[in-house]
Amino acid sequence: MGAIAFLIGWFVFSYPLIRGTKFEKKNDQVFIQRSRSFVFILLGLLTVRLLLHGYIEEFISIPQTGALFFLLAYGMITHWRLSMYRQYKQITRPEPTM
């Protein structure tokens, strides 16, 4: 059950965060572009989490529910951060010279 929670976080909940995070390069410095939708994405994820929490809590104990949601959040954040790292490496890659 823990692996399923991790994978749902990895594949489902990280997707909006990945789509909302973009890098830009200005004067050889890398910045994250501010996204107006970022706050709404976080609020949406929180709402879904709270709705799921109430439903899942009926079937398993509170500590198990907490552990599952920790694994879900860990999967989500890990995938998002790895994606950010790949984007960063891509934007900072030296340009080929001729």
Tens of pLDDT, residues 12-47: 989 988 988 889 988 889 998 877 788 888 888 788
The pLDDT, as a whole number, for residue 3 is 94
**Residue scoring higher pLDDT (88 or 53):** 88
What are the DSSP calls for 30-74, one per residue? EEEPP-TTHHHHHHHHHHHHHHHHHHHTTTS-HHHHHHHHHHHHH
Check: CB of residue 41 under 8 Å from CB of residue 17. yes
Tens of pLDDT, residues 62-88: 888 888 888 988 999 999 999 999 999
